[in-house]
Amino acid sequence: MPFLKTSNLVSIERHIVEEGAMHPEATGEFSRLLRDFTLALRIVARDVRRAGLNDILGQTDAVNTHGERVKRLDIHANDVIIRTMERGGHLCVMASEENADLITIPQQLTCGKYVLVFDPLDGSSNIDVNVSIGTIFSIYRRLDEHDTGPGTLADVLQPGFRQVAAGYAMYGSSTQLVYTSGNGVDVFTFDPTIGEFLLTFEKIRIPQRGKIYSVNSGNAYKWPQGMRDYVSHLLRPSDDGLRPYSLRYVGTMVADIHRTLHYGGIFMYPPDSSAPSGKLRLVYEVNPMAFIMEQAGGRATDGHRRVLEVIPESLHQRLPCFMGSVDDVLEVESFLRAANEISG
Ligand code: AHG
Ligand code: MN
Ligand code: MN
C-alpha cells in the first residue's frame, strides 16, 4: 500500500491542539468542541457511505423553512450533529439550515461560550444518485463570554468576519475535511481504517486566476444583464489563451467550492429575477465558504460587497455569492458594475 506523502502524520485533533497552543488564552474548550464535531462528521460520513444499504435514501413528507422537500438523510445528519454537540458544554446555541428556529441547549445541560451554525447536508439533490455531498459549519464566540445562560439570536447573527473557525466535510470518493481558524486553510482526509482525519494538504492557496466557471446556467434567462455579459465574455476565445473557460457545475456547493479552491476559477450563485438574493444562505453556506476562500487567498463578495462584512438580519437570509480566484471575482464585479451604470 502506498504511504501518505506528508512528512509528519498529523491528526486533526493534534493540529487543533497545536493551533490552540499558539494562543496563550486558549483553555482547550475549543479543541474539545472540535473533537466532538469531528465525531459527528465521522458518524455522518459512515451513514452516507451506507445510505443505499440502510434504506435511508429518499424524501420525507416534510418541507423545510426554505420550501424545499426534505430528504431523509438531511434530517438524519441534522439529528446526529445536534445530538453529538448539545451535551459537550461548549455551546450556548446552535442554528441549522434544517431548523426554522434557534436550537437551544436543553435546560439540564451546561451552556458554553461558543455558537455553532451548520448546513447538515449540502447538495440534497445529489443524495439519491451517489454524487458528492457535504456538511458546512462555522463557529463564533458568544457576544458576552461571561454569560452562562442560553445563547440568543444576536449571538447567531454575527457578521462573518467574527468567525472563529469554519469548514466543510465533503463525502466524495474519500471524506475530506477542509478547515480554517483564521490561520490558512488545511485539508484533512479521513482514513476509515483508523477512524482519523489526517492532514493531507497544508495551507492550500487558490490560484490568482482560473479557467473554470461554475454556475447554474439554466437560470441564465433570469440573470441580470451584467451576469449574462460576463459569461458570454468567458466563452469568447482570447489570443492570450486565458479564455474560453470550461464550465463545471456539480450542484453541491461543497464540491463546487472544493474544486474551485484547488483549480481556481469562480463559483457563482447570482441573484435572478425570481430570486433577488440568489439561493444560498448567508449564515450556513456563504459565510463559512467566504472565510475559507479569503483564508486561501481568494475573494468572496455578493457582487458588490465583501461577504464577511454583511450584517445578517435573519437566520435563513440568502445572499448572492461570487467566490474564487481574486482576478476572476474582480472581473465579474466589473461586469456587474458596468451593466448597472448603463441601466442607471
Ligand atoms: P442544500 O442541499 O443544503 O439545500 O444546498 C443546495 C445548494 C448548494 O449545495 C448548491 O450549490 C445549490 O443548492 C444548487 O442549486 P441549483 O440546483 O439551483 O443550482
Ligand atoms: Mn446547502
Ligand atoms: Mn442542506
Helix, strand, or coil here: 218? helix
Q: Examine residue 282 and state whether it is found in any structural domain, yes or no.
A: yes
* 177/262 same-domain check: no
Q: Is the CB of 252 under 6 A from ligand 1?
A: yes
| 52 located within any domain | yes
Average pLDDT, the chain: 93
Distance from the CA of 262 to the center of ligand 2, in angstroms? Answer: 20
Q: What is the number of the ligand 1 atom nearest to the C-alpha of 269?
A: 11
323: β partners: 267, 300
Same domain for 153 and 262: no
Tell which of 202, 232, 259 closes a domain.
Answer: 202
Q: C-alpha grid cell for residue 255?
A: 464540491
Task: From the CA of 123, give the closest atom in ligand 1.
Answer: 2
Between the CA of 341 and the centroid of ligand 1 the distance, in Å, is: 31
Lowest mean pLDDT among 32-36, 115-119, 212-216, 269-273: 32-36
Q: Residue 256 CA: which ligand 1 atom is closest? A: 11
On whether both 91 and 238 belong to a single domain, the answer is no
In CATH, what number is assigned to the domain containing residue 272? 3.40.190.80
Q: Choose the final residue of a domain: 202, 224, 240.
A: 202
Long-range contacts of 317-320 (CB under 8 A, 24+ apart): 317/277, 317/281, 317/282, 317/283, 318/275, 318/277, 318/278, 318/279, 318/280, 318/281, 318/282, 319/277, 319/278, 319/280, 319/281, 319/282, 319/286, 320/269, 320/270, 320/271, 320/277, 320/278
Q: Pick the residue whose CA is nearest to atom 15 on ligand 1.
A: 251
- What is the best residue among 170, 280, 282 to mutate for testing ligand 1's pocket, by most ligand atoms within 8 Å of CB? 280
Structural domain including 192 reads 4-202
- Nearest protein Cα to ligand 1, atom 17: 251
238-287: pLDDT as tens digits: 999 999 999 999 999 999 999 999 999 999 999 999 999 999 999 999 99
Q: How far does Cα 142 stand from its chain's mean position?
A: 20
Contact call for residues 57 and 73 (beta carbons, < 8 A): yes
**What sign has the CA pseudo-torsion 224, 229, 234, 235?**
positive
Assigned domain for 207 exists: no
Q: Are residues 47 and 75 in the same domain?
A: yes
Per the listing, cell 461558543 goes with 114
Give yes or no: residues 82 and 123 share one domain.
yes
In the chain, where do the E strands start and end? 59-63, 69-71, 91-96, 103-104, 114-122, 133-141, 165-171, 175-180, 185-191, 196-201, 212-214, 246-247, 266-269, 299-301, 321-324
- CATH number reported for the structural domain that contains residue 115 in this entry: 3.30.540.10
**CA of 178 relative to ligand 3 center, distance in Å:** 17
Name residue 217's amino acid: S
Q: Quote the CA–CA distance of 152 and 157 in Å, as a whole number.
A: 9
Radius of gyration of the chain (CA): 20
Ligand 1 lined by 115 (C-beta under 6 Å): no
Quick check: CB of 216 below 6 Å from ligand 1?
A: yes
- In degrees rounded to 5, what are phi and psi of residue 46? -60, -45
Question: What is the position in ligand 1's atom list of the atom closest to the CA of 218?
Answer: 19
CA of residue 209 to ligand 3 center, whole Å: 29
Residue nearest to atom 3 of ligand 1 (CA): 122
User: What cell was used for 218?
Assistant: 439554466
Residue 276, helix vs strand vs coil: coil
C-alpha distances in angstroms, 292 versus 29, 50, 254, 299, 317?
A: 22, 29, 11, 10, 20
Instruction: Looking at the structure, tell me whether residues 254 and 191 fall in a common domain.
Output: no
Contact 122 CB / ligand 1 (< 6 Å)? yes
Take residue 326 and report the three cell numbers written for it: 481574486
Region of poorest pLDDT, from 50-64, 162-176, 206-220, 250-264: 50-64
Measured between alpha carbons, how far is 278 from 321 in angstroms, rounded to an integer?
7
Number of structural domains found in the chain: 2
Ligand 1 centre distance from Cα of residue 266 (Å): 16
- Beta strand pairing status for 165-171 and 133-141? antiparallel
| pLDDT score at 128 | 87
Going from the Cα of 256 to the center of ligand 3, the distance in angstroms, rounded, reads 15
Q: What's the confidence (pLDDT) of residue 71?
A: 81
Q: Please tell me the pTM assigned to this model.
A: 0.95
**Residue 76 placed within a domain:** yes
| Domain shared by 185 and 232, yes or no | no
Q: What are phi and psi of 187, to 5 degrees?
A: -115, 130
Q: Is the pLDDT of residue 4 over 60?
A: no
Asked if 174 and 255 sit in the same domain, the reply is: no
pLDDT band per the 50, 70, 90 thresholds, residue 214: very high
